[in-house]
């Protein structure tokens, strides 16, 4: 397993819509293992493949977020099938370093994807796992958590972020 550099804004790969994974290859398996290693070493809750420069539909979620099985989640071609209720909670992102803000998301979701073994997985979840799945699937669609902010908060973000660069 190897650490992969995490892309940060304004890297254009973060705004690309990721392509579906057609075949689960050794390269996909290796990439998912490297993504888990990178996520753990970066103290992330999840990671999407485009965050490490691969615009394909692959995400990983940390085992500490997965209260359902206490193991890392690897999902290929994930999608949110159903969403219910709303809640607001603080989020951050490895691709938007050192910035945290409150974001409204669905409280409960039903997510579906494919495992590395080619099996369909359905996750009915709420709380932090539901939030992490939505956040990572957003990445696959070129959406960052800052895109969910109000215009006022987006302007504050731009001012804060420009000061850091």
Which residues does the annotation mark as catalytic? 136
Question: How far apart (Å, rounded) are the C-alpha atoms in residues 78 and 60?
Answer: 10
Question: How far apart (Å, rounded) are the C-alpha atoms in residues 49 and 16?
Answer: 11
Please provide the DSSP assignment of 109-145 as one string.
Answer: EEEEEE-TTS-EEEEEEEHHHHHHHHHHHHHHTT--G
Handedness of CA 138, 139, 140, 142 (dihedral sign): positive
């Amino acid at each position: 397993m190897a650490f992969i550099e995490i892309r940060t804004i304004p890297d254009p790969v973060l705004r690309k819509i990721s392509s579906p994974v057609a075949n689960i290859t050794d390269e996909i398996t290796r990439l998912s293992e490297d993504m888990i290693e990178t996520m753990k070493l970066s103290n992330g809750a999840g990671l999407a493949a485009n965050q490490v420069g691969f615009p394909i539909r692959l995400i990983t979620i940390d085992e500490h977020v997965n209260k359902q099985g206490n193991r890392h989640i690897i999902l290929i071609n994930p999608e949110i099938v159903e969403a219910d209720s709303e809640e607001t909670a603080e989020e951050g992102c490895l691709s938007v370093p050192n910035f945290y803000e409150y974001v409204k998301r669905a409280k409960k979701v039903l997510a579906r994807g494919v495992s590395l073994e080619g099996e369909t997985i359905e996750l009915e979840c709420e709380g932090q796992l539901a939030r992490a799945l939505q956040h990572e699937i957003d990445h696959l669609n070129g959406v960052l958590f800052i895109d969910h902010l109000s215009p006022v908060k987006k302007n504050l973000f731009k001012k804060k972020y420009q000061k850091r660069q």
